Structure 1
Amino acid sequence: MSVAPPNLSVVTAPTTATPASGAPRPAPGPAADEGLARRLRALACTAPLHDLDARKAMLAGEFGVYAMAEVALSAIDLVTLQMDFDTGAEPDEVVARLLPRVAAQAPLRPRTEHERVARWVLDSLVNVGSVDRGFRAVYGTFGHDGAYVRREYDFKLIEEVPGPGGAVYLRTTDEAVNVLVGALDTDVTSAQIAAEVKLEVLISRGRLADAQLAAEQARYRTVQYAETLRRTLEATRRNVRAVDWLQTVPAMIDEALDHVADRYRHENAILTNIRRARDEAEDPDHKRRAAELVDIVKDCIRRHTQLQTRLLDAGPLFRAEQDRQAFAPPAARTGVDLYGQLLAPVLPLPVSAAHRVTDAFFARGTGLRAPHAVRLADLAELLLTPPLERAHLGAEMPEPDLVATPDDSRFSEEQLAAAGELLDLPPDAPRRLSGLLADARRRDPGLPYLVALLAVHAAGPAVGTAYRQGDERLLFAVDDGTQMTDAEFGGADLIVGTALLDAAGMAAGRSEAAS
């Protein structure tokens, strides 16, 4: 496996520099300096991608034909779209999805080489081989006194997270999403609203190619919003005091719920416009792009629904973690001060005396071993612990905005009543379907289709269902082999009639079942 380069550095000047007397100073004010710092951080986030093309010459083989930065962007895209709220993307699946992109750049090369390139790019984005598996950039800013101050910017593009069963998943960071959409430290809410407004305008103007790019950017912002909430909940599970649940997080949750409600309404309207554009488009390319847009916006709606569920569960999770951490038993023993209690006293000692201390420490410092059998004290504590309250009412659910479903039925209530009158036949006087169709045609030109539909449905009557429901009459249709002679319909000229069910037998059956 290839090893990633050491941490990156953008600037290599001295640590501080004071401007000479009389020399012009940089642009005053923190806003100008912050804008410069944002651009430097944006440049630093793209440096690992450019470094891939610079380092591919060091690989054993001819890899100059591959555009490593393109493969890296595709890897970031795949991990971002495959990761969920609780899990991430599987590395092997990401490599498998990267193979077509790599193979397209060098189709004559073997598959083993394509897989090696994909894994090398993915390992470089994770920064395998470094201590903290992250990147570091150094940039300069100007303090309030005008002095040039160096600052370090640590970031990651793709990080490995543990999963169930010892599996390792990949998740992209905010910096990776910002690299993907071409921005840095952008406010998630405003960026999401702007992206979807832009998407709606592009769809209304028929620019589906640009609308697809805007829809993908809106989806990346949705993933970033969910990632912010996930990190807040993870910090709460570790230490509830490290997160401001008094003002910051409740305000963020309320703002996020309003945001999800607005985005859901907005995206449903966009989805309606896209479907209309897809159905009305005559150009095959426009129809294909519209179909892809439908899938992207539906995925955005799914992610917003999942985000809303997590937001509603955030309050109960905080209360449960607060109870768990507040009433957790204190540690039975205090930690060992390695410097004051071990290193400082041992260093002046000769080796013959120091090895007795070090041997005893390392023999007992290898960690505890889990016992094979449960202790009686553990069993008693487990049985006497009161059960946790599992039911959480949570926050009040917002009232949904219900949209009336348009009545797109083919037949009206008047036609249904007229068809019922025609098919309300005496039990001893069945009729041919052709005669019923002629009577229906004299009433309403569209009524014969409803009569024919009801007659065909009566060809297999549900006698058992009608018997259990207590119906006294049942419509039936029988085919005796006579062909239909009609200008609009063909097939068998059914005999349509009404059968009387045994009401006394039904009453006796119901009484026996009740007893």
Structure 2
Amino acid sequence: MTSPASTEYVPPQLSAGPRPAQGPAADEGLARRLRALACTAPLHDLDTRKANLAGEYSVYAMAEVALAAIDLVTLNMDFDTGADHEQIVARLLPRVAAQAPQRPAAEHERVARWVLENLINVGSVDRGFRAVYGTFGTDGVYTRRDYDFKLIEEVPGHGGDVFLRTTDEAVNVLVGALDTDVTSAQIAAEVKLEVLINRGRLADAQLAAEQARYRTVQYAETLRRTLEATRRNVRAVDWLNAVPDMIDEALDHVADRYRHENAILTNIRKARDEAETGTDPRTAEHKRRAAELVDIVKDCIRRHTQLQSRLLEAGPLFRAEQDRQAFAPPTGHTGLDLYGQLVAPLLPLPVERATRVTDAFFTHGTGLRTPASVRVGDLVDLLLTPLVERENLGAEMPEPDLIATPDDSRFTDEQLANAKELLDLEYDAPRRLSGLLAEARLRDPELPYLVALLAIHAASPPVGTAYRQGEERLVFAVDDGTTLEDEEFGGADLILGMMRLPAGGRGPDVVGGAR
């Protein structure tokens, strides 16, 4: 029998109702880890999708090849240029061949190219990846968010070449430090490097040195993107506060790293010299590790020297771009309206008259054409090469995979027809926007939004374009200073009317009012 003083234990989450969401700080940490986890998803997806390749590719570890590709691109790209695509493929071949040495070389090359193209995400429109994750707001409401990122991107270089560059997300995946601050990560990596060297753990020290080099590349990439944005539009970058603070912080960072890396280099050389005179059977391995560390730290010093020179050039570059963009002369020509100036006038003409115009247009519009043979040797090869037998119908075309595009329009065709009917003022006097909105609200609750949208576009009608395209009528809107009194919309109560565009050379006529 239970005494009256005893009570049955009830868990807090059952007695107090549903547990509220954690605070913004805890949720931000969770969101950061979710974004970091999303960056690794494309690498795991490679091993999942390798079964779709035509052939037996299960022997290859695609994620391992992908990490090696990110590593090669990161270490081969410079401040101004990136890594060469074919060079990366060539350097990936030994690692791919080591996984399946009995397979042919053509298959190894196909695997390397397939992995690299999937890291670039060649098949997508923007060549990027997207992940969906959820966060809790301050009000405790769960909201789904999209996270767009890239791992390897193609950037244009000098002379029309295309290079590869890794993004911050790729470097984070490679290093293993997910979504960390560049400066703090660099300091922590180099302090760890110095401690490992002092303790003689050169194998672990080599890994720490490589991580420090990746962080240096990431810091230089941040500066490069800032300077590129300045060259495109100087107003898009905060040169008043954000960029000067970043440059000062980066210069202090470079000065500290110089002192630190020179001290590390001294310790490494000391460890190497001790390894040369040691009697331990592992002396050769110790010496090799020390020599590799010397090369890595020298590369870090070289990259910091390059970063420092770019930081010192950032201020003059900003002033030069400011002068260039502020005082650039405006363009003295207007764009070409292909439909109004070329297609519409040619459609009524006979073919023999229209082809003369199109031939002249495309002759001057396509530019110069390089001849097929510019040397005597090319001409001889062209004349002596036998013709290739071709099938009558040509090569078989692959069957495209067509996906129906979902119709995500807010307004239906019927609503658009009703809105145009309301704005058809050919036989009416000009009307106020408030009256049109009230009449549209009686037909459909969503129709006033479409009428208001069309009225805003009519405030500055493209008369010249409509005239060239052969339009006969055009809706126009005028603001006479009257305030719109409506339960859903605010602003000006526009006066809307219909403008008739005659085919002759006269000016437009206003229907329902004075010309």
Instruction: Give 1:309's aligned residue.
Output: 309
Aligned counterpart in structure 1 of residue 31 of structure 2, from 18, 37, 61: 37
Query: Are 2:249 and 1:245 equivalent residues in the alignment?
Result: no
Query: Are 2:317 and 1:322 equivalent residues in the alignment?
Result: no
Larger CA Rg, structure 1 vs 2: 1
Query: Are 2:154 and 1:176 equivalent residues in the alignment?
Result: no
- What letter corresponds to residue 319 of structure 1 in structure 2? R
CA offset digits 1:22-50 (Å, max 9, x no partner): 432221x2111111101110111000000
Residues 143, 260 of structure 1: alpha-carbon distance in 2 compared, 3 angstrom cutoff: same
Report matched runs for 1:37-436 at 5 Å: 37-281=31-275, 282=278, 283-333=283-333
Q: What's the CA shift for 1:329? A: 1.1
Matched residue SS, 2:83: coil
Cα distance in 1 for residues equivalent to 2:273 and 2:285:
13
Cα distance in 1 for residues equivalent to 2:50 and 2:367:
47
Cα distance in 2 for residues equivalent to 1:175 and 1:316:
30
Gaps of 5+ in 1: 1-20, 354-359, 373-515
Aligned-pair identity in percent equals 82
CA RMSD for the aligned pairs?
Answer: 2.9
Matched residue SS, 1:144: coil
Task: State which drifts further: 34-43 or 161-170.
Answer: 161-170
Q: Is the 8 A contact 1:141 1:151 kept in 2?
A: yes
Q: Is the 8 A contact 1:157 1:172 kept in 2?
A: yes
Task: State which drifts further: 278-287 or 291-300.
Answer: 278-287
Q: What's the CA shift for 1:108? A: 0.9
Q: What's the CA shift for 1:146? A: 1.0
Cα distance in 1 for residues equivalent to 2:334 and 2:31:
44
Structure number with greater CO (CA < 8 Å, separation at least 6) is 1
Cα distance in 1 for residues equivalent to 2:364 and 2:331:
16
Q: What's the CA shift for 1:182? A: 1.1
Q: What's the CA shift for 1:332? A: 3.0
Residues 151, 227 of structure 1: alpha-carbon distance in 2 compared, 3 angstrom cutoff: same
Matched residue SS, 1:137: strand
Instruction: Give 2:423's aligned residue.
Output: none
Cα distance in 2 for residues equivalent to 1:42 and 1:338:
47
Instruction: Give 2:20's aligned residue.
Output: 25
How many residues in Structure 1 have an aligned counterpart in Structure 2?
341
Matched residue SS, 1:300: helix
Q: What's the CA shift for 1:334? A: 6.0
Gaps of 5+ in 2: 1-15, 350-356, 370-515
- What letter corresponds to residue 287 of structure 2 in structure 1? K
Matched residue SS, 2:177: coil
Matched residue SS, 2:143: strand
Matched residue SS, 1:86: coil
Residues 338, 263 of structure 1: alpha-carbon distance in 2 compared, 3 angstrom cutoff: farther
Matched residue SS, 2:332: coil
Cα distance in 1 for residues equivalent to 2:119 and 2:363:
34
Cα distance in 1 for residues equivalent to 2:121 and 2:136:
31
Q: What's the CA shift for 1:167? A: 1.3
- What letter corresponds to residue 20 of structure 2 in structure 1? R
Cα distance in 2 for residues equivalent to 1:51 and 1:294:
37
Instruction: Give 1:475's aligned residue.
Output: none
CA offset digits 1:232-257 (Å, max 9, x no partner): 00000000011111111111111111
Instruction: Give 1:482's aligned residue.
Output: none
- What letter corresponds to residue 90 of structure 1 in structure 2? D
Residues 119, 366 of structure 1: alpha-carbon distance in 2 compared, 3 angstrom cutoff: farther
- What letter corresponds to residue 285 of structure 2 in structure 1? D
Residues 100, 246 of structure 1: alpha-carbon distance in 2 compared, 3 angstrom cutoff: same
TM-score (norm: length of structure 1): 0.62
Cα distance in 2 for residues equivalent to 1:125 and 1:143:
33
Q: What's the CA shift for 1:368? A: 5.8
Q: Is the 8 A contact 1:159 1:172 kept in 2?
A: yes
Cα distance in 2 for residues equivalent to 1:337 and 1:369:
17
Cα distance in 2 for residues equivalent to 1:364 and 1:240:
37
Cα distance in 2 for residues equivalent to 1:62 and 1:71:
17
Cα distance in 2 for residues equivalent to 1:316 and 1:284:
50
Instruction: Give 1:397's aligned residue.
Output: none
Cα distance in 1 for residues equivalent to 2:31 and 2:125:
26
Cα distance in 2 for residues equivalent to 1:155 and 1:251:
26
Cα distance in 2 for residues equivalent to 1:365 and 1:152:
43
Q: Is the 8 A contact 1:42 1:183 kept in 2?
A: no
Instruction: Give 1:411's aligned residue.
Output: none
Q: Is the 8 A contact 1:79 1:172 kept in 2?
A: yes
Q: What's the CA shift for 1:331? A: 2.9
Matched residue SS, 1:269: helix
Matched residue SS, 1:184: coil
Q: What's the CA shift for 1:57? A: 0.6
Q: What's the CA shift for 1:316? A: 0.7
Q: What's the CA shift for 1:176? A: 0.2
